[in-house]
Amino acid sequence: MQRYEGFWEYKTLGYVTLLDKYVTEFSRANGLKTTTPGNGNMQKFNTELKKIKPSVGDDLHKRVMNIADNIFSKKREPNFPEKYEYTMNATNGDIVKIINLAAADFKRIKDLRDAIAHGDALEMTDSDYDRTPVIVAKIALLLTYWAFIDFGLEPNDFMDCLTRNHNQLRRQADPDFVHLARVTNPDKFFTISQAEFDKISGIQNFILGACFTENIQGGLEYSEKHAETCRKWWKNPSKKTGHIHAHKDIFSVQEESLKIVYDAYVECGENRLSCSPLYIFTAS
């Protein structure tokens, strides 16, 4: 399916049908049961049971109500959304966050699948046309993950593949790269204070001089001095090219006093900025 080239409607129909089939098999294999609660007669029965004299004890009352519920309730096959939700709840939480297939996306693609399957006219906006290929790619990514697990691989194996830039689904599915990085490389995330975050948020071209000093407590503080040195170096037309030793060629400091982190994030609460590279100056 990933190599399919043709009308987008058939690709959408194909992938959503595969999704439906997979969650059906998974929920059946894991014993998902669905019942429709008894109608208003259950409430009437409960009321009449309480009127019996002498009164029925709590334990007997509960047992009788359970029997009545089993009689009045109707067994039914779970529908597609219920099976999908059940399977997603059983899926690794980090993977769910990374793929980031929202509930609204699922409803949109299910409604679209139903319309295509029934031959109904498609009611779509421009944003639907833009979003649909992304949703289909997310479904393909989700099915690929489940295939990994069914073949005996681990979530980390899947995430390792997803970190590779040449991965086609990585480009198409628009996964949550921040959460992927947080799970696979947690040491690339650095927490700073609100004051420090507010300071760097207002700096133009911050990424050209993402320089911080590490204080005694291990916290990071933005270094205007080192950042200015870095920006001047970048703007210097006669700067050294080729293999650069940042500690020597840019900052003129001892190698052991500078830590360089690529593809890093500095964050405060839910707010973050990406930095590549991030320069951290230590007292050593």
Residue 258: what pLDDT?
95
Is the pLDDT confidence value at 261 over 90?
yes
Express each pLDDT in 74-127 by its tens digit. 667 889 999 999 999 999 999 999 999 999 999 999 988 888 777 777 777 788
Residue 12: what pLDDT?
87
Asked if residues 73 and 38 have their Cβ atoms less than 8 Å apart, the reply is yes
Report d(CA 246, CA 229) in Å as an integer: 11
Strands 74-76 and 34-36, sheet pairing: antiparallel
Residue 4: what pLDDT?
46
The confidence band for 1, taking pLDDT boundaries of 50, 70 and 90, is very low
Beta bridge pairs of residue 220: 214
Is the pLDDT confidence value at 5 over 60?
no
Residue 74: what pLDDT?
65
What are the strands of the beta sheet with 271-275, ordered from one edge? 189-191, 264-268, 271-275
Express each pLDDT in 183-237 by its tens digit. 999 999 999 999 999 999 988 888 888 999 998 888 999 999 999 999 999 888 8
Mean pLDDT to the nearest integer, 136-152? 97
| Burial of residue 93 (number of CB atoms within 10 Å: 0-12, 13-18, 19+) | exposed
End-to-end CA distance of the chain: 55
CA dihedral 263, 268, 271, 275 (to 10 degrees): -20
Distances (CA, A) of 137 to 113, 123, 174: 15, 21, 8
* Whole-number percent of the chain with pLDDT over 90: 55
Residue 216: what pLDDT?
86
3-state SS assignment for residue 200: helix
* Residue 78, H or E segment: none
Task: List the chain domain ranges.
Answer: 8-30+92-184, 34-77, 187-281
Asked if residues 192 and 210 have their Cβ atoms less than 8 Å apart, the reply is no
The per-residue pLDDT of the chain, averaged, comes to 87
Mean pLDDT to the nearest integer, 16-38? 86
Report d(CA 191, CA 105) in Å as an integer: 32
